[in-house]
Structure 1
């Protein structure tokens, strides 16, 4: 026999453990509901059915993704979420997940708090030093695997540099180079904002500090590359001298003729050798001094034309057809004239010598016998007896000397030498007779 509704026990005197048992029926022994009304579950039928909440469990849970479809009886929020869901309503994907069922991983591991958009998987925000929709790019001014290093230059465009090397991907205006520290072509100055001082700098490059050209384009020279190189002139320095042999490669800007020539050259174009010179550099003298006008072949040094009747490259021979008649006649006449001149000269010399001798004879003083002492032994040396006997007697050599001086002495004191041993052979016999020699 069953207890009346709401009662249990052996005597059916105890009330069922729950007032929500279906038809108020509970187990006779335990007092637990044998069946619950709609939306209730449990032994005591005090819990809402899965997906329900409220005092009568008539309201649906606020989310369909609550773990085991269970939500709080009072608030309707999930007590726990199914896998990959979080939040009171279990509508948000857990960190690192996105998609309808939050089953897909976010597109980057660098999303701040590991959160990404539910539909796209892109980061809602990036961790420090990362940027971009997927947080895979380094923040401006950073590079490296974790974007913790600073870029190698502050002049990178948008402060962006290569993730691996740190070199600028692009430079700000007026800067170039991997590190964007060089000025763009045509610019100089601390911020590369000034234009180079010349438009003729090679590759449009100038010194960063001064603005002067580092090198000039072809045909220009100088710090500002506004002057022409030697041998060039004109507004664009493209005009050249008419000759490449001008001294220092300088020529008249109007005529383009050389202003001066190097050594051994002459002419408006300095292509001709100086008179008397030849060879490629005109430094050698012509091979002959008898070339007409002192001109010779530039290559061989041989005469173009010879002086007079000379012939040959060296102008050292007469031509084979030369007429020798006049030459022989002229030579004979010259020899005859020379002989006549020599004869006349000899006659004049002889006459002058005779006149001088006669003048000397006429002016010589006479010799007086009283002025002379006898010298009997003039031509033979005195004997030893005579030397000892007469101290008064004169020496024969001294007597002879007196005679010589008296006879030949002239006003100009010029005397001829008459050695004693040759007196007999050269002087007249009468001389000794007149002076009383024996």
Structure 2
């Protein structure tokens, strides 16, 4: 438990609550949290016992609970009689009003001589005007009014320095302008307030600026003030820099930025991203890009490169290209290879390797390579067309419309299906037999030889020799 020392004149021990100086005038006790009797005057009560130092008008007694009677109508001593401070004793006073007839003893003032000269008059407590109580030589530091009876802490708890002035009626006032340790004077406020979030509760008594920095979890105002009124973001790991709020230990998962106020993309795997840029460390499956906003559309199993978006394992049926963004919709059955070449022919009205060429007007089906019209719409029977072209799959070694053409005998294929050439064009699917090259493997390698000189071999695309036959 910590103590706020609100009623202590010179602060207190924050762990025990003990006030190191005196209490403000309304309080007494170990921690100055007990209230003085209500009829004590502005001089307050004894710090330890709580007994009134002086009573207000018409009361007397240790705690000022008894009412003055008899000759003393308004002021009396602690026995209820006229003041013992009259010159000549308590009998030397007016029998009706209780006014001292010959003035006061040294150190007291007023008509009834019950008011004591302030102990804070410059000189000593016996030096004050016997009628008014005014200290002729002024007050000791930080005590105010002409009678020097009001210290800053009596007017404003925890005040260290005040400014004194008189109003138009010549009444005395004093305003606090600097507060004691642990407090400051807010603008346009009358009372001292505790230092806000300052390390060791140390702030400028006038401005509230923190002199030793901020307590953990707070940082200074971003516009040049030294007030620690900005709270570190809860998304910081272990607090922040007390001078600017930067999260020096990084952000919690899901946040980024200097002060960790920005949220990582929801598509970042495990909500983790770079603290400064916000770039996802890794994307959730099916996403790519700096912030993983882009989707791996049409990629097989939804997998693509996190940076480029290139599909890692190929495309779903009906699509091709690096990002599988191009459609095989012109191909029969939307069946094409990774380069977009249609593998089962073209949809009606189209021809070419990519089926991106249109048959001439009114031609429903044309030759898949040359575009020569084979059936004019609507002359052909749709069922027949479907059987002859649209849904037909040629057997191994056959290609073309109605599978009338034969693949080159020099095409080879290592797959178990036995297909060796592309259905529409007759192009060899895999490699050429030894000694041949070209799209249809119908070109001879000539005098090219393999590395061990046992076979005729050349580049299957351009016929370039790897090695010449000896001789």
Same fold (TM over 0.5): no
- Give me the TM-score of the superposition, normalised by structure 1: 0.31
Q: Where is the helix percentage greater, Structure 1 or Structure 2?
A: 1
- Higher CA-based Rg: 1
TM-score by length of 2: 0.29
